A and B are shown apart, each in its own frame.
Chain A
Amino acid sequence: MSVPDHEEARVVPITAAPSYDQSDRPDPLAEALAFLRRRITGDYEVDEFGYDAELTDKVMLELIRPLYRHWFRVETVELKNVPADGGALVVANHSGTLPVDALMMQVALHDEAGRPLRLLGADLVYQLPVLGHLSRKTGHTLACPEDADRLLRKGELVGVFPEGFKGVGKPYSERYKLQRFGRGGFVASAIRAGVPIVPTAVVGAEEIYPKIGDLPTLARLLGLPYLPITPFFPLLGPLGLVPLPSKWMIEFGEPIRTDEYDASAADDPMVVFELTDHVREVIQQMLNELRLRRGHAFPPFL
């Protein structure tokens, strides 16, 4: 008599288990096929800026993630300072000769804060083939007041590097020294939208391509803002384009509120300059502290 009882007790959980979980977690192969089908038939949405969220999440970020996790071992600090929803302006230092820091910030905010980052880029990017449309597809747009205002009004998390080319293309000897912050257009946009400014410090990007020289004539000929010489480029050719594996840290500072200002303050140059200077000082302070906290750029070796 005891034998059938045992059998029954064993059978029940086995039949109950798999069929219910199926709907929650679809077969990865079926999911991949559905993704391919959507891509091939054009059945996906892009927003008015050309942001293709599906392509960004499923392809672009997947490709960059190994660099983020294993090459630069990026560590984020004070993520709680990034608003969980609503418009905000992330203002960061820019460095590294090539704007790799922009990509790392995007992965950091996507993976750890769950927010897509909408970066504002230089117009040069949008004149170049391939780069321009990849930039739009990953959610970025031209740095101009109209686009910034529009994104912030829509409640997006907008990222900006006010130093621009002056920051990303500065020589290695000036590492971690903030350059001039443009004309403060980003501050005016934040005031108009009444959104907080999140000062952000990126440590580690300065060491990926140490720029020790420049080829200004050739750069001008190619229409580029600079053509760097690093210890390995152009010496090692394409191999010189491999970034050095420095240790990275990204810190998000306490948000600076702008909703106390009247919207008309955006047209008051004194207010804008003062706030711009304040943001710049805060970021410089954060950079100095974070750099000490990180220690050596290449921990196992140096």
Chain B
Amino acid sequence: MTHTVLVTGVSRHIGARVASVLAADPDISRVIGVDTVPPPSLTRDGGISLGRTEFVRVDLRSPDIAQVIAAADIDTVVHMSLVSAPSRTTGRALMKEHNVIGAMQLLGACQRSATVRRVVVRSTTAVYGSSPRDPAVFTEDLEPHDGPVHGYAKDAAEVEGYVRGFARRRPDITVSLLRFANFMGPGVDSPLTRYFTQPVLPTVFGFDPRLQFVHEDDAVEVLRRMATEDHPGTFNVAGAGVLLLSQCARRAGRASMPLLAPAFRMLGDAARRAGLVDYSPEQVRLMSHGRVVDCSRLEAELGWKPKFTTGAAFDDFLRSRRLRPLGGARR
């Protein structure tokens, strides 16, 4: 059977890697990559080779995406286009539109399509929020006490709502919803990776959150499997084990600066306004209470475990940025 795969968000690192892996698969006849901006040039910006991926520049918020899906007889859709931080120039409103309206347009197009058989949507473990009143480890079925009310996490929670509605209306389509922990690895550029490369890490006084990461290689492998095999359902994706924020700072050889929670929030707001770092209220809560998810459902479904543990993924990131603990490398 020939496959034609549509990948959204190919101008971003993970999206580009997924597209190139799928393009290298001989069972897939065509890979079409879409995004609102063209992918970074290979030589100048260190972009990823997309292989034989055909790039189409589409504004996801417009109904144009439906034409792309109809014209190319697409059978698998991998939706990776979820913006995690507002751009400095365009702000939060555009980010929300991109995330939520973009997903609605795409799902609407898939619902109309007679060829689409499989939809894979990237989400985030941030939909669980971070709260002192929730269990230490989240499983997929758990309803969080305090769901997200801001930013990226709220967008993702809304997108998930539309995905569930879509799965109900088109039960013949295999829908996989993947909740990823924070990406970590040499190529990842996220608010969190930027945070760890600061010389001094502001932390919330009296709190030491548990963090979990997924290595970019493992994330790409999970998405490749989901795009080429049928695995319906919602799955958490994270590396085994946890790291405490204090442990991360020590491994990175960075000094931490504990601030009382209100001061931390103020500093975060100031830094965001100055365009230095992107802090959101969600991140402040993550930095206080942390978040850990259970991945046994994914491991049982795929019969596979992420190759990098949370610790190994973080160490790989540190190696790529030449960050070392005090007194040299760890054994």
Task: State the A residues within 8 Å of B (CB).
Answer: 37, 39-50, 52, 123, 126-133, 136-137, 141-142, 144, 146-147, 150
Q: Which residues of chain B in 279-331 are interfacial with respect to chain A, using CB atoms and an 8 Å cutoff?
A: 289-290, 292, 325-327, 330-331
Task: Tell me if B206 and A142 are in contact (CB < 8 A).
Answer: no
Sample of 26 A–B contacts (CB below 8 Å)? A40-B250, A40-B325, A41-B327, A41-B330, A42-B247, A42-B248, A42-B249, A42-B325, A43-B325, A43-B331, A44-B247, A46-B242, A46-B243, A48-B242, A50-B210, A50-B244, A126-B289, A129-B204, A132-B206, A133-B207, A136-B136, A142-B134, A144-B134, A146-B135, A146-B137, A150-B135
* Residue count of chain B within 8 Å CB distance of chain A: 33
Contact across chains for A42 and B242 when beta carbons are under 8 A apart: no
Contact of B210 among A46, A131, A144 (CB under 8 A): A46
A-B contact count (CB 8 A): 91
Q: Which residues of A contact B292 (CB under 8 A)?
A: 48
Closest to A52 in B: B244
Contacts A41-B327, A42-B247, A47-B242 known; A129 to B207 CB distance under 8 Å?
yes
Q: Which residues of A contact B246 (CB under 8 A)?
A: 42
Set of chain B residues within 8 Å of A127, measured between Cβ atoms: 132-133
State the Cβ distance, B91 to closest chain A Cβ, in Å. 32
CB distance from B292 to the nearest CB of A (A): 5
Contact with A along B206-217 (1 / 0, CB 8 A): 111010000000
| A142 near B325: Cβ-Cβ < 8 Å | no
Complex formed: what's the CA distance from A141 to B325 in Å? 29
Whether the Cβ atoms of B247 and A50 lie closer than 8 Å is no
Interface residues of B (CB under 8 A from A): 132-137, 139, 142, 204-208, 210, 241-244, 246-251, 261, 289-290, 292, 325-327, 330-331
State whether B330 touches A43 (Cβ < 8 A): yes
Q: Which residue of B lies closest to A127 (CB)?
A: B132
- Which A residues lie within 8 Å of B248 (CB)? 42
- The winner among B139, B142, B208, B327 for most chain A CB atoms within 10 A is B208
Residues of B contacting A: mostly:
loop
Given contacts A132-B207, A146-B139, 20 further A-B contacts (CB under 8 A): A37-B327, A40-B250, A40-B325, A40-B327, A41-B250, A42-B251, A43-B251, A43-B325, A45-B241, A48-B242, A50-B136, A126-B133, A129-B207, A132-B206, A133-B207, A136-B210, A144-B135, A146-B142, A147-B136, A150-B136
Which of chain B's residues have a CB closer than 8 A to the CB of A48? Answer: 136-137, 210, 241-242, 292
- CB-based closest 3 A-B pairs: A129-B206, A42-B250, A126-B132
Q: Report the separation of the CA atoms of residues A48 and B133 in the bound assembly, to the nearest whole angstrom.
A: 16
For A136, the chain B residues whose CB sits under 8 A away are 136, 208, 210
> CA of A39 to CA of B251 in the docked complex: distance in angstroms?
10
Q: How far is the CA of A46 from the CA of B136 in the complex (A)?
A: 13
- Is the beta-carbon distance between A41 and B135 smaller than 8 angstroms? no
Known: A41-B327, A50-B244, A132-B132. A137 touches B137 (CB 8 A): no
> Which residue of B is nearest A131, CB measured?
B206
State how many angstroms separate the Cβ of A118 from the closest Cβ of chain B: 11
List residues of chain B with CB within 8 A of the CB of A52.
Answer: 244
What is the minimal beta-carbon distance from B293 to any residue of chain A, in angstroms?
A: 9
Specify which chain B residues have a CB less than 8 angstroms from the CB of A46 in the assembled complex: 210, 242-244, 247
Residues of A within 8 A of B205 (CB): 129
Minimum C-beta distance from B321 to chain A (A): 15
Judge whether B207 and A147 touch: CB under 8 Å.
Answer: no
Chain B residues with CB under 8 A of A43 = 251, 325, 330-331
A39 and B250 CA atoms in complex are apart in Å by 8
Nearest-Cβ distance from residue B214 to partner chain A, whole angstroms? 15
Q: Looking across the interface, which residue of chain B has its beta carbon closest to that of A151? A: B136
Residues in B with CB closer than 8 Å to A123 are: 132-133
Bound: A46/B326 CA distance, A: 20
Residue of A nearest to B260 (CB): A129
Closest approach, in angstroms, between the C-beta of A234 and any C-beta of chain B?
23
Report A-chain residues with C-beta under 8 Å of the C-beta of B326: 40-41
B-side contacts of A132, CB under 8 Å: 132, 206-207
Shortest Cβ distance from residue A289 to the other chain B in the assembled complex, whole angstroms: 37
- Determine if B208 and A133 form an interchain contact, defined as CB atoms under 8 angstroms apart: yes
Contacts of B139 in A (CB 8 A): 146
A257 to B327, CA, bound (A): 52
Residue of B nearest to A50 (CB): B210
Nearest B residue to A128 by beta-carbon distance?
B206
| Interfacial chain B residues near A50, Cβ < 8 Å | 136, 208, 210, 242, 244, 290
Determine whether the beta carbon of B331 is less than 8 Å from that of A147: no
Chain B residues with Cβ under 8 A from A142's Cβ?
Answer: 132-136
Q: Closest chain A residue to B139 by CB distance?
A: A146
Report the separation of the CA atoms of residues A46 and B137 in the bound assembly, to the nearest whole angstrom: 14
Chain A residues near B331 (CB-CB < 8 A)? 43
